[in-house]
Amino acid sequence: MAPVEPRVQAATTPGGVILEARNLVKHYGHVTALDGVDFELRSGEILAVVGDNGAGKSSLIKALTGAIVPDSGDILLDGQPIHFKGPLDARKLGIETVYQDLAVAAALDIASNLFLGRERRRPGFLGDVLRMLDKKGMRAEAERSMAELKFHLPSIGSAVESLSGGQRQGVAVARAALFAKKLAIMDEPTAALGVRETGQVLDLIRAIRQRGLPVVLISHNMPNVFEIADRIHIMRLGRRAAVVSPKTHTMADVVAIMTGAAKFEEAASPQAG
């Protein structure tokens, strides 16, 4: 169980804590979905959240994106306690979420999808009175951010349905990157994709980290997690069983902690947590 080559450094990007949750509890009737879970996302990192089905992954993420309100516990953004009433609150505070099922309007073009729900209007009379869209400005901004993410697409004016599945999900990921001020949460973004397309999306997530935006990645796919994550948050029975580094732990270690076959104390090096 012990790592082959323990490293001194726990994570590649030790930074300040951006998003923190303390002792979150959520009951659904007699079912306890979250049993006092803690969570911590640091600046500039990709934090993977893994766990078996029913371990509380989804409930944790829903609490962090405002989709559910926990029964008790605190959520802190940049050290400030926050209370979400709904997903829009989270978005207003700069937390963007990417969902598994390609949340794009396929018949609309790429630029329209990037700005969907956040369209910009032209300045002056045309925008204020006639409510006219600034199509050129949005297109230019979309092209700029796509270039910055090194995400190569056909014309920004082509319909999303003309893209491959990976490129479509890329549009959803890029949308999060474009608008997330604090962090982006990706809920199984590659679950519906093939191997090559998954690679495209993972590249994009790395590019987002490079821009300094921390990312929470929920995934079932261990090889992907080990390929991309800086730290791995392991859920078990509604709690955080451990946070480990992919550099100090193997996939077998993580699976063992996930399933309860190993306790964190046995498997971890102290620096990792």
Task: Compute CA distances 86 → 10, 67, 70, 73, 92, whole Å.
Answer: 34, 6, 12, 17, 10
Instruction: Give the list of residues 6+ apart from residue 69 with CB closer than 8 angstroms, or none.
Output: 63, 83, 84, 85
Q: By CB under 8 A, name the one of 81, 123, 157, 194 that touches other proteins.
A: 157
Residues in the chain: 273
Pairing of strands 46-51, 231-236: parallel
Q: By CB under 8 A, name the one of 7, 22, 121, 206 that touches other proteins.
A: 121
CA dihedral of residues 112, 113, 117, 118 (deg, nearest 10): -60
Q: How far is the CB of 109 from other proteins (least distance, A)?
A: 9
Q: By CB under 8 A, name the one of 1, 25, 103, 191 that touches other proteins.
A: 103
Are 21 and 60 in contact, with CB atoms under 8 Å apart? Answer: yes
Does position 76 bind other proteins by CB under 8 A? no
Q: How far is the CB of 132 from other proteins (least distance, A)?
A: 5
Does position 270 bind other proteins by CB under 8 A? no
Does position 147 bind other proteins by CB under 8 A? no
The piece of 7-15, 49-57, 117-125, 193-201 that touches other proteins (CB under 8 A) is 117-125
Angle at 4 between CA 2 and CA 7, to 5 degrees: 95
Site track 168-187 with other proteins (rule: CB under 8 A), x = hit: -------x------------
Does position 251 bind other proteins by CB under 8 A? no
Token readout for 109 is: 């073009």
Does position 108 bind other proteins by CB under 8 A? yes
Angle between helices 135-148 and 165-179 (to 10 degrees): 100
Positions touching other proteins (CB under 8 A) are 87-88, 91, 99, 101-108, 112, 116-119, 121, 130-133, 154-155, 157-158, 161, 175
